[in-house]
A = this chain, B = another copy of it.
Amino acid sequence: LRIGEPTGFAAYNPPVRELDLLNHIYSRNAGLPSRVTIPPGDDMGAITIGGASVLVTVDQVADGVHFDLATTPLAKVARKAVTRNLSDVAAMGAVPVAAVVAGCLPRGFGEAKANALFDAMRAVAMSYDCPLIGGDISMWDHPLLLTVTVLAETAGVEPVLRRGAKVGDNICVTGTLGGSMETLDDPPDYVHHLDFEPRLNVARKLAGDAMLRPHCMLDLSDGLGKDLPRLCAAASKPEPRPAGRGPSVGVELWIDRLPISRGAHRAAQRDGRPPWQHALGDGEDYELCFTIPREIADRFPTVIEGVPVTQIGRIVAADDDAAITLRMPDGSVQPMGEYGWEHHD
């Protein structure tokens, strides 16, 4: 059994090759000029322009990979194309300011649909004070692909990086996890991976409040089982531009504390797997995952800006990066394995 198997039209999780390629890209960061203040490898990159820090992220959504055009209303496609990026902005504790869109439209898509699609993207973006300020459109004989780039500003709050988890930190997540492709009744036709709310307000509160500020943060796009190892790997990366390595850290994940979504329960009913496996592996949660000093864990709020915050584990010393162990409800502890928990089940 393997977490991340497609339950719908396509796989949630990127194949290993994509991660390899990303790592290949990150390995070249050392040569970047000093004005690059956040190099590739975080949820956004950042560069100094005219004395200001400008953050930027890009994400693409493709028909057949990230949505199914045959069954998904255009408004939801447009929403996801924009909000995926906004979730990255949230992960930095930044404020979105502008977006540009590139669209590759299948020939014969039709002018009315194209207009509706771009109108919807503009409306979604504007609803987050993130106006579309440019774009590029091509036609081709292949599926619809939308690429959105979002610029963000720090607005007085230092970005929260992926790097920074410390042994002893508690790990928190917002919202609930798993089953993001399930269609729910309340609200009607809610499908999390399309309709999720990027956690901009929560992130801003966390990043800007000295009593709450996390050591590190990312957004959960590929599932906790894949994103936690990234948090660990980032923790032991050298400082912004090389000097040495931090200690290797791992995670002890408290399975009985995972906030299980209604979608995860729904998915579990269908396939008979325990709901926590869906919470751990399904992906496309677009929730925040961050670590906080143990000293403040006891009095850390359980709701921020109306969104539940749950402590689900802790950062531990580890022999190698990204060793994740699961503390099961019966008290036993088992390794998760490298790409989810496929090694045991």
Contact = CB atoms under 8 A, between A and B. Distances in A.
A136 B42 CA distance: 11
A53 interface: yes
A201 interface: no
A133 B58 contact: no
Contact of A104 (B15, B132, B145, B149): B145
Contact of A22 (B18, B40, B97, B137): B137
Contact of A49 (B104, B114, B143, B151): B151
A53 to B, nearest CB: 7
A56 B148 CA distance: 12
A54 B54 contact: yes
A183 interface: no
B138 A46 contact: no
Interface residues of A, number: 70
A52 B18 CA distance: 35
A104 B18 CA distance: 11
Contacts of A58: 100-102, 134-136, 147, 149
Given A17-B114, A97-B35, A153-B49, A134 B44 contact: yes
Interface in A11-63: 14-15, 17-18, 20-22, 24-25, 28, 31-33, 35-36, 38-40, 44-47, 49-54, 56-60, 62
Contact of A138 (B56, B62, B137): B62
Contact of A132 (B40, B134, B136): B40
Given A18-B138, A51-B51, A151 B64 contact: no
A35 to B, nearest CB: 7
Contact of A129 (B18, B33, B142): B33
A304 interface: no
A296 interface: no
A126 B56 contact: no
Contact of A111 (B17, B28, B104): B17
21 contacts: A14-B137, A15-B139, A17-B111, A18-B138, A24-B119, A32-B131, A36-B131, A36-B133, A40-B132, A45-B134, A49-B97, A54-B151, A56-B133, A58-B100, A58-B101, A59-B136, A62-B104, A62-B142, A64-B140, A65-B138, A142-B143
In the A-B complex, the 4 residue pairs with the smallest Cβ-Cβ separation, listed nearest first, are A50-B52, A45-B133, A45-B134, A147-B147
